[in-house]
Structure 1
Amino acid sequence: MSDLDKTEVRRVSEADYDDVMSIRSTLYGGYDYLPFSYRSLMTHSHNEGYAAVINGKFVAFCFVSKVDGGETAVSRASRVNKQYEGFGVYKALTLFIEKHLFSDGTVLNGAVVYSERNPKMVIATSRGEYTLLMKRTVIVYKVDCEKMTVLSQGTHPTKHTQILNAVDLETAFKSSKVCSTLFPEERIVCNKVPYRLKESNIPLIISEVSLIVGTTDPECSLITCGVYYRSESGHTYSLEVYGNCDFIKEHLVLHFQHALQCCHKEVVIHFFCNENEASKIGIEMKEMKFRNVDIQFPTVFVVEKKIK
């Protein structure tokens, strides 16, 4: 970079897809959801994308989702061109976003989900710049569609396990017992976005790309949030797990049925769960003879900071 470079930050649209994708490839261990999800994300009014542009070239990008009734801005799918790493381009982009997006005073918090492979965020959190909300263990399995089909056809969930609708989720959020047991951090993550347990978030959590499954016995003892997408590593299913995993197989049946509507090949399933529940999931997956996959980000962190 030089002083003669023309630098600007602009809000992007669906038409900027190719320019945004050209910034960088093979991100997040090959499981980047943005190439598959970009166009659909841009159709929702609570999402905004911003890019840093130098001499007409897109060099950095950040997606922002406003949740919690507009009080929280969640930074997502961040990236910077390798050629411009270390020049403060991404920092300038985030400062621009904070100045313009937060200027109306409605946004009170900034949140982000990141892995341990992001040393800058790890250091910032350790310094107290962000408050750690949740620490999630990540375990990954490869499942071929034939096995998914066999399981989904041969196993039938009990009457206590079902797909949750908006009313079901609203009831769960209003239950102090359910919230204290399943969501002690007062957050639920779906499609890489942390939400407070607020009624206004439910239309965002239950969307055209997600499937929410719950087990009631009689109140919710397990809730799972599944989202299918394609990545450079292939067909991917992200599954957030909250609660007692004794019924995880019944949940998988419904999530597999959801995934099979989109995929007819091998699927990589990412489980995001409490560390104590990871072993239960591992035992169940081993019994079903699904293959474990080593990944480069076995832990993710959900953090937040006060904007003002």
Structure 2
Amino acid sequence: MKIENTLAMPVPSASDLEQHSDLEFYIATKDDFEEIMSISKDIYGGLDYLPSRFESWLKDHNRTIILARKEGKVIALESVCIIDEGETVLVEGLRVAPGERGKGVARVLLRFCSQYIKSKYPEVKVTRLTRDDKLGPRDFQKYRLITKQGILLMRFCAEDLKQRLQQILSGLIDMDAKLNPPPVLLDPNEVHRIFLNKTVINEVLANKTIVQDWQPFKPIHSNLEVLLKKDIDWMVDSMKHTSVASLCTFPFHIPIGEDWYYLNIDIFGKDVSLVRSQFLAHLKRHIENLHGHVMCQVCMDPALWETMADFCKRLLEVELVKGYTEQCVVEADMV
């Protein structure tokens, strides 16, 4: 489906017009999958989530996947999703073909997406996105920082970690049980009760934001309904007095290689003992069903990163892929 020509090239600068006047914009369909994958090689260091989510994105009535084509070939993609009861557009999934990178294609596509959203959803007030810590002064001239989490990225062989957990987990649980109750896995009704609680929103979540595998949401009923349709485990330390809450996205295959999986855990709260307990509980729930290699990303309060990294290296004996980095949620007003 070709998008209407009235929105085809909202590009004010003469240089952009001259360089990118041959771009055409289309809404993606299932037939575009192979072309999209062909421009996505090595994106996100092999941790690309799109192969596992593309089909569900196409079915999401609040989402539009926009392609930029040049001479009939897909050279760029961006996804825009309406959240927060229609007030916010979540921008994610940006990718540009290797041969077109550094030429301003992403800037033109993002500008087009903004114009498209303003035309189709005039009630949208804010653009929100999540970035890593490669943000510079120019980014903060455009965006305001909402919150940030420390990223702990590790990799391990599932079979090795199963054995390691069997050796140490019971001892760690016994130690923690003297101070903390075991984590509580929530059902859908409990998710609403906990994550809409004002104390949890104000004191536990990252600046009143639920971040689920790089997707930031306000803690409101409609957003919880969206999240509850996903394969996610929700966990807290206590139903009555919640200090730490976490979401674990079910593992899925990633294109880094055969038998590679990605496991993402988002943890909110500042008590490192409770954070560790929920991290281990999520690992225990999913590791038994995994085989091969796993890339596990845990996002947490930045102040806890060093302690958790040391715990993972020394006791779990996993390999840290990189040092400290940050996940930044930023937003800007629609203009």
Normalised to the residue count of structure 1, the TM-score between the two structures is: 0.88
Describe how 1:1-308 pairs up with structure 2 within 5 A: 6-103=22-119, 104-117=121-134, 122-127=136-141, 129-150=142-163, 151=165, 155=170, 160-216=182-238, 218-227=240-249, 228-233=251-256, 234-243=260-269, 244-260=271-287, 263-295=290-322, 298-308=325-335
SS of the counterpart of 1:281?
Answer: helix
Deviating more after overlay: 142-151 vs 23-32:
142-151
Q: Deviations over 1:217-246 (max 9, x none)?
A: 732111111122322333111111101231
What is the alpha-carbon distance in structure 2 between the residues aligned to residue 5 and residue 184 of structure 1?
Answer: 42
- SS of the equivalent of 2:316 reads coil
Cα distance change of structure 1 residues 31 and 295 upon mapping to structure 2, 3 Å threshold:
farther
Taking structure 1 as reference, are residues 44 and 152 closer, same or farther at Cα in structure 2, changes over 3 Å only?
farther
Kindly state the Cα deviation for residue 14 of structure 1 after the two structures are TM-superposed: 2.2
Structure 2 CA distance for partners of 1:252 and 1:86, relative to 1, 3 Å: closer
In structure 2, relative to structure 1, the CA distance for the partners of 1:294 and 1:306 (3 Å cut) is same
Q: Return closer, same or farther for 1:152/1:62 CA change in 2, 3 Å cut-off.
A: farther
Instruction: Please report how far the alpha carbon of residue 189 of structure 1 lies from its aligned counterpart in structure 2 after TM superposition.
Output: 0.4
- 1:75–1:111 Cα contact (<8 Å) kept: yes
Report SS of the residue matched to 2:59.
coil
What is residue 9 of structure 2 aligned with on the other side?
A: none
SS at match of 2:305: helix
Q: Deviations over 1:252-301 (max 9, x none)?
A: 34422443475212212111111111133224323533323233872221
Select the structure of larger CA radius of gyration.
2
Deviation, 1:132, is 0.4
Greater fraction of residues in strand: 1
Letter of the 1:299 counterpart:
E
User: 1:5 touches 1:55 (CA, 8 Å); kept in 2?
Assistant: no
TM-score of the pair, normalised by structure 2: 0.81
**Higher normalized helix content (fraction of residues):** 2
The amino acid across from 1:242 in the alignment is F
**1:57-94 deviation line (CA, Å, top 9, x unaligned):** 00011112221122211111111112222332222212
Aligned-partner residue type, residue 126 of structure 1: F
Q: Given the superposition, is the C-alpha separation of residues 53 and 178 from structure 1 closer, same or farther in structure 2, using an over 3 Å criterion? A: same
Counterpart AA for 1:107 = V
Structure 1, unpaired ranges of 5+:
none
- Distance of 2:242 and 2:229 partners within structure 1: 20
Count of paired positions:
304
Q: Is the 8 A contact 1:149 1:256 kept in 2?
A: no
Letter in 2 for 1:230: H
- Identity level (%): 18
Preserved CA contact (<8 Å) 2:162 2:288: no
Distance of 1:68 and 1:203 partners within structure 2: 11
